[in-house]
Amino acid sequence: MNKNQYYIYISAFLTILIPTTGRFVYGFTLMLELFILMMVGTLLISLIKKLKIQEIESALLLITLISTTILYRQIITMAYAEISLVLGFLFYLPPISVFVINIITSNKNKNLKEKCITNAITGGNAVFMGLLIFLIRDIAGYGTFTFFGKNHHIFEKVLFAPEKLGIFSFLASTPGALILAGLLLFIQIFIDSKVQIVKNVENQK
């Protein structure tokens, strides 16, 4: 993947993260959906290749991802209607995201096991980054920690009083989320580049 493509996929990932309410429970719900879609798509691509019906690959992939999203949203609605109501159309961003489609359709020459492992690692890294962003926004921006609770209610633990948050409450806003995501992604890109340099040096020995 060249640098321009890398930035396109980063931007596509941010379009999933930024519009979402900065509570951990909502972010976890969306990141779980993201990971499920990537693995379902990976299995589907392998099945299509095995059945030799690549000419309808795009249509089948899109239909399957959207159908999986509808099923996933229905399950969330039955369990936690409030989460489904708040996220709304955001459920449908992952299945049409360039980020998700690229991960699913890459590594076509690998066998199923290798593709599942590779895509699970790639998707897992993205999910971890997303969860970290939502966790920081929830704790620092709202002073709370939220997760799935009992009796179909969202669990909320107040960690800091609102008046003690100060400037950190900015992280709860959309611009704050964008700045936080940009900072964390910059750190990740910096580390990845350093690791790649070390690998290149070792390969030249």
Q: pLDDT value at position 7? A: 65
Is the CB of residue 45 less than 8 Å from the CB of residue 205? no
Q: pLDDT value at position 82? A: 94
* Two tokens, residue 87: 């996220």
> Among 139, 131, 133, which residue's Cα sits nearest to residue 160?
139
Of 147 and 121, more confident: 147
Q: pLDDT value at position 148? A: 95
Please report which confidence band the pLDDT of residue 95 belongs to, taking 50, 70 and 90 as the band edges: confident
Of 202 and 19, more confident: 19
Say if residue 2's pLDDT is above 60: no
Report the Cα 106 to chain-centroid distance in Å.
17
User: Residues 11-31: pLDDT tens digits?
Assistant: 777 888 888 888 999 999 999
Listed in sequence order, the DSSP H helices in the chain are: 3-17, 24-51, 57-79, 81-87, 98-105, 112-136, 174-204
Q: pLDDT value at position 125? A: 84
Please report which confidence band the pLDDT of residue 5 belongs to, taking 50, 70 and 90 as the band edges: low
User: Residues 175-195: pLDDT tens digits?
Assistant: 888 888 888 878 877 887 888
Of 155 and 105, more confident: 155
Q: How far apart are CA 31 and CA 33, in angstroms?
A: 5
